[in-house]
Amino acid sequence: MKKGLLVTLIIVIAFVGFAGTMAIKGSNTVFPVSQLWIEELKEMYPDIEITLEGAGSTTGVTALFNGTADIGNTSRWLKETEIQKMHDEGKYFIPFVVAYDGIAIVVNNENKLDNITVEQLKGIYTGKINRWSQLNPNLPNQPIIFYSRNTASGTYETFEGKILNGERMDPRARMVESTQLEIDSIAQNPYAIAYTGYGYVNDKVKVLKLEGVMPSIETILTSEYYLSRPLFMWVDATDGFPETGDVKKYITFGMSKRGQELVEQAGYVGAYGGSFIETP
């Protein structure tokens, strides 16, 4: 699978064709999938115009509420506060599972560690484990530099919920807004560790087993890998589901066999076999 698609904090891809632009905002993790879908849709429908921004799951949900996006991408389910707000404002957002992902734990290629436990990972990110030698006496007695996505990220929220389990992340965590920046930082620092979407992993970094399980298509799809999760796109159907138009074309293509092939090209696990859904 192709991995390591470059992405910055906010990247806008605009295809100009006609008045009326469809806007997609949200998850940095889902961004590479949307990017590939848009590129192919442009070939199918030359007049289609779509803008895409990847700045975190929360920004996608916020954009749906304020009407600045037609589709909100998230790497998490809606928060209770968002569900309550949807109820209070009389809105109705429909979720579609785009793909399945595993949050990979990555270190520098020089690191001799091969496996990490949930408790060890929690210890690092809560500040209880500070040196590599605390994980294994054969590792260097060097401080652990640990990176995290920022709090607008759905990846951060999944990690916080499943690893920290209610405890506070140590303020020494280096918070970054770009997944690619995480990968680049780990590649340059032999004493660093980070967590990132499986689709972004490349040979610049080393992936650790988590509780003895390596993230892969099989372990993510079966949820054997502990940090497996679905990825979503949300559509505002308050005034009814879009039966026609660009939003409908985009959703139909994404759920199609070709759309799901592009999910795997982006480095994730397809949510649907695709053989029973025809490409539009």
Provide the CATH number for the domain around residue 66.
3.40.190.10
Q: Are 98 and 31 in contact (CB under 8 A)?
A: no
Instruction: Clarify whether residues 129 and 192 are in a common domain.
Output: yes
Instruction: Clarify whether residues 154 and 65 are in a common domain.
Output: no
Q: Are 28 and 6 in contact (CB under 8 A)?
A: no
- Domain count across the chain: 2
Instruction: Clarify whether residues 96 and 107 are in a common domain.
Output: no
- Collapsed DSSP state (helix, strand, coil) of residue 180: helix
Is the four-CA dihedral 224, 227, 231, 237 of positive or negative sign?
positive
pLDDT in tens for each of the 280 residues of the chain?
444 443 433 334 433 333 368 999 999 999 999 999 999 999 999 999 999 998 899 999 999 999 999 999 999 999 999 999 999 999 999 999 999 999 999 999 999 999 999 999 999 999 999 999 999 999 999 999 999 998 888 899 999 999 998 899 999 999 998 888 899 999 999 999 999 989 889 999 999 999 999 999 889 989 999 999 999 999 999 999 998 999 999 999 999 999 999 999 998 999 985 333 344 4
Q: Which helix (H) or strand (E) holds 62?
A: helix 57-66
* Domain assignment present for 14: no
Q: Other C-beta atoms within 10 Å of 123: how many?
A: 18
Residues 149 and 158: their CA atoms lie apart, in Å, by 11
* Domain assignment present for 2: no
pLDDT the model gives residue 110: 96
Q: Are 57 and 75 in contact (CB under 8 A)?
A: yes
Instruction: Clarify whether residues 192 and 255 are in a common domain.
Output: no
pLDDT the model gives residue 2: 43
Q: Are 1 and 263 in contact (CB under 8 A)?
A: no
Instruction: Clarify whether residues 87 and 137 are in a common domain.
Output: no
pLDDT the model gives residue 273: 54
Instruction: Clarify whether residues 29 and 129 are in a common domain.
Output: no
pLDDT the model gives residue 280: 43
* Domain assignment present for 53: yes
pLDDT the model gives residue 13: 40
* Domain assignment present for 125: yes
Q: Domain limits at 242? A: 22-100+229-270
pLDDT the model gives residue 10: 37
pLDDT the model gives residue 208: 98
